[in-house]
C-alpha cells in the first residue's frame, strides 16, 4: 500500500502503516526532490489574490498543500490541474467569498496560519478546524498579532482550533514588531496587509524566511524590505495594490531533501545526486551544519528559478563528527532537527542542540519523540527542557520500535535511521508521511533503501 492510497478508517483517519527499515545498499543515482511545501502554499494563495490565471508547475501534491487547495475552493477560487501544472483563477485582492462551511485544514499548521492571515480583513465569519495534531497547536500568538487590524476570534478554547475568525467592516493597516522569530506569523500578517488600504509595517529583530516577500514582489505587490546590520528587517507593504497572475515553477523542498541527504551520508558507499533543491540561505541551516560535521556535500548546477536559488546536491557517504549547535543556529532549521538527530546518532562524538523549546508545540512534542526514538534504538540521548544531547559512537544498534506520534518528520527520520543500523528499526505507523512527501518510500527504495511492511504489529 502506498502513502497516497492509504485507506481511511471509520473515524476518517488514515489506516496505520507500520514499517521497518534495515540493510540498505549504497544509495546511488538521481533523486527527484518534491516541490517546496512553503512555496506551494504561498503560490496558491497569491494566485487566488491575483486577477486572472496563475499556473504553478512542481506544486507539492501532499495532504497539507491539498488542504489549502480545498480551502481556497471554498472561498470561491477555481483551481484545476492539467498539462502538468495547477491553474489558479484568482478573484483579485479583497475578492474572496465567504466560505459556506467550516474550513478543514487537516493537520497543516502552515496552511492554517496563512489562511487566517488571508481572511483576517474580511467582514465575514470563517470557521477553521483540523485533525488531531493541528488541534493541539497554539494559535494565540497569531490571533494577538491580527487583532490590531480589527479581526476578532471566537468559538475557541485557549486560542486553539476549532475557532471562528471575523474581520472588521473597515480593516486598519498595522505596525507590528515581532516578539519572536516566526515566518508563519509574519507571512500571515503580510497576506492580511496586502488587502488593507494604507501602509503596513512589520519589524523583524531577527529576519526569517522571505518566500512570502519574494512572491508578493513577483506578483506585483508594493512591498519593500530593508535589512539592518543587526540581522533584522523592516518590511513595508502598501495594501490594495492589484496583483498580476504569474507562471511559477516551485523548486524542490530542502526539508524533504534532508532525508536522502542524511541517508546518503550514513550508508557506506553511497553517492547520490539530489536534484532541484532550493538553497535559499534561510533554508540551508541543516546543509550548513552537516558540512560542519564533515559531510561530503557538493552544490552543482546552481541556477535561479522564480527568484530563488536552486542547485543539485551531490552527497557521498562520510564520517561525521559531533558538534555543539547553539539556539540561534538551531532556529534556522527547526523543521529539520529530526533529520539532524539521525546524522548525530551516526556521528563520532557528542552533539548538543540548544533552543528546541518550539519543537514541543509542533505536530507532536517533537523533542520528546526524537529522544524516545533514539533511546528505543539504543542511542545515548539526554532530553532537556529545550535542548537535546546525543552521544554518537559512529554506529547505531537499532532493534527497537519507534512511535511516530502521527508526525511525518519523525516517521521519515527514523526510517532513515534504520538504513545502516545493526538491527532493524521499526516504526509503529508511517501513514503521516503523506502530509508532506507522499512518494517518500518509493523514491528512497529506488535509490537503494530497504523498507519492509510489519505484519501483525
pLDDT score recorded for residue 306 = 67
User: What is the percentage of the chain residues whose pLDDT exceeds 90?
Assistant: 89
pLDDT in tens, 34-71: 999 999 999 999 999 999 999 999 999 999 999 999 99
Q: What are the helix (H) ranges across 194-317?
A: 211-218, 254-266, 285-292
Do 267 and 227 lie in a common domain? no
Task: Give the mean pLDDT of 223-237.
Answer: 94
* Spatial distance between the Cα atoms of 160 and 34, rounded to a whole number of angstroms: 30
Do 127 and 75 lie in a common domain? yes
Do 243 and 282 lie in a common domain? no
**Residue 217 — pLDDT band, cuts 50, 70, 90?**
very high
* Domain-embedded: residue 8: no
* Spatial distance between the Cα atoms of 112 and 101, rounded to a whole number of angstroms: 15
pLDDT score recorded for residue 37 = 96
Do 402 and 286 lie in a common domain? yes
* Spatial distance between the Cα atoms of 309 and 205, rounded to a whole number of angstroms: 24
Do 421 and 294 lie in a common domain? yes
Q: Are 365 and 136 in contact (CB under 8 A)?
A: no
* Domain-embedded: residue 13: no
Residue 304: CB atoms within 10 A of its CB come to: 9
pLDDT score recorded for residue 28 = 98
DSSP per-residue codes, 117-175:
HHHTTSSSEEEEE--HHHHTS--HHHHHHHGGGT-EEES-BTTBSSEEEE--SS----E
Q: How many domains are there within the chain?
A: 2
Do 213 and 345 lie in a common domain? no
Asked if the model's pLDDT at residue 88 lies above 60, the reply is: yes
19 marked as part of a ligand binding site: no
391 marked as part of a ligand binding site: no
Asked if the model's pLDDT at residue 4 lies above 60, the reply is: no
Residue 444's CATH number: 3.65.10.10
Which string of b and e fits 70-104 if b means at least 16 CB within 10 Å?
Answer: ebbebbebebeeeeebbbbbbbebeebeebeeebb
Residue 112 parent element (H or E)? helix 109-119
Do 131 and 26 lie in a common domain? no
pTM of the model: 0.91
3 marked as part of a ligand binding site: no
195 marked as part of a ligand binding site: no
Active site residue 312: no
* Domain-embedded: residue 281: yes
Do 198 and 300 lie in a common domain? no
228 marked as part of a ligand binding site: no
Q: Of the listed 104, 210, 253, 335, which one is catalytic?
A: 335
Task: Give the mean pLDDT of 97-113.
Answer: 97
* Domain-embedded: residue 14: no
Do 274 and 347 lie in a common domain? yes
Task: Give the mean pLDDT of 240-248.
Answer: 97
pLDDT in tens, 345-370: 999 999 999 999 999 988 899 999 99
Do 209 and 322 lie in a common domain? no
pLDDT in tens, 142-201: 999 999 999 999 999 899 999 999 999 999 999 999 998 899 999 999 999 999 999 999
* Spatial distance between the Cα atoms of 382 and 405, rounded to a whole number of angstroms: 19
184 marked as part of a ligand binding site: yes
| Domain hosting residue 408, numbered range | 19-36+251-453
Do 51 and 184 lie in a common domain? yes
109 marked as part of a ligand binding site: yes
Asked if the model's pLDDT at residue 75 lies above 50, the reply is: yes
Task: Give the mean pLDDT of 246-260.
Answer: 96
* Domain-embedded: residue 103: yes
321 marked as part of a ligand binding site: no
Do 188 and 43 lie in a common domain? yes
* Spatial distance between the Cα atoms of 214 and 193, rounded to a whole number of angstroms: 15
182 marked as part of a ligand binding site: yes
**Residue 103 — pLDDT band, cuts 50, 70, 90?**
very high
Start-to-end CA distance of the chain, whole Å, equals 16
Amino acid at each position: 500500500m502506498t502513502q497516497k492510497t492509504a485507506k481511511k478508517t471509520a473515524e476518517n483517519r488514515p489506516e496505520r502503516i507500520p514499517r521497518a527499515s534495515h540493510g540498505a545498499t549504497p544509495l546511488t543515482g538521481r533523486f527527484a526532490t518534491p516541490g517546496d511545501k512553503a512555496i506551494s502554499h504561498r503560490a496558491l494563495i497569491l494566485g487566488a489574490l491575483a486577477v486572472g490565471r496563475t499556473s504553478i508547475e512542481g506544486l507539492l501534491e501532499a495532504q497539507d498543500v491539498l488542504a489549502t487547495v480545498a480551502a481556497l475552493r471554498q472561498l470561491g477560487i477555481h483551481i484545476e490541474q492539467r498539462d502538468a501544472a495547477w491553474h489558479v483563477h484568482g478573484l483579485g485582492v479583497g475578492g474572496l467569498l465567504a466560505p459556506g462551511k467550516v474550513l478543514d485544514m487537516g493537520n497543516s499548521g502552515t496552511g492554517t496560519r496563512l489562511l487566517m492571515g488571508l481572511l483576517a480583513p474580511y467582514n465575514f465569519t470563517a470557521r477553521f478546524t483540523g485533525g488531531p495534531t493541528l488541534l493541539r497547536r497554539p494559535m494565540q500568538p497569531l490571533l494577538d498579532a491580527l487583532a490590531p487590524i480589527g479581526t476578532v476570534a471566537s468559538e475557541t478554547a485557549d486560542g486553539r482550533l476549532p475557532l471562528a475568525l471575523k474581520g472588521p467592516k473597515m480593516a486598519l493597516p498595522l505596525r507590528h514588531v515581532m516578539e519572536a522569530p516566526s515566518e508563519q506569523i509574519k507571512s500571515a500578517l503580510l497576506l492580511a496587509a496586502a488587502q488593507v488600504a494604507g501602509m503596513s509595517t512589520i519589524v523583524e529583530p531577527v529576519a526569517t524566511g522571505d518566500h512570502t516577500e519574494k512572491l508578493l514582489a513577483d506578483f506585483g505587490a508594493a512591498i519593500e524590505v530593508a535589512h539592518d546590520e543587526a540581522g533584522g528587517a523592516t518590511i513595508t507593504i502598501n495594501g490594495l495594490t492589484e496583483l498580476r497572475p504569474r507562471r511559477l515553477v516551485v523548486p524542490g523542498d530542502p526539508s524533504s531533501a534532508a532525508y536522502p541527504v542524511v541517508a546518503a551520508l550514513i550508508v557506506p558507499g553511497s553517492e547520490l545526486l539530489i536534484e532541484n533543491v532550493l538553497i535559499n540561505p534561510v533554508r540551508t541551516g541543516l546543509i550548513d551544519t552537516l558540512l560542519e560535521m564533515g559531510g561530503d556535500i557538493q552544490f552543482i548546477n546552481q541556477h535561479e528559478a522564480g527568484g530563488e536559488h536552486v542547485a543539485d546536491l551531490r552527497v557521498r557517504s562520510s564520517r561525521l563528527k559531533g558538534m555543539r549547535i547553539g539556539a540561534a543556529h538551531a532556529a534556522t532549521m527547526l523543521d529539520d532537527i529530526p533529520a539532524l538527530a539521525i546524522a548525530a546518532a551516526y556521528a563520532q562524538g557528542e552533539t548538543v542542540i540548544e533552543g528546541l523549546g518550539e519543537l514541543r508545540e509542533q505536530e507532536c512534542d517533537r523533542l520528546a519523540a526524537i529522544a524516545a526514538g533514539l533511546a528505543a534504538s539504543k542511542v545515548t540521548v539526554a532530553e532537556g527542557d529545550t535542548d537535546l544531547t546525543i552521544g554518537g559512537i559512529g554506529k547505531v544498534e537499532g532493534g527497537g520500535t519507534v512511535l511516530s506520534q502521527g508526525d511525518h518528520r519523525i516517521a521519515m527520520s527514523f526510517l532513515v535511521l534504520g538504513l545502516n543500523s545493526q538491527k532493524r528499526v521499526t516504526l509503529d505507523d508511517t501513514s503521516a508521511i503523506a502530509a508532506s512527501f507522499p512518494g517518500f518510500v518509493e523514491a528512497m527504495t529506488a535509490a537503494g533503501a530497504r523498507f519492509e511492511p510489519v505484519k501483525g504489529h
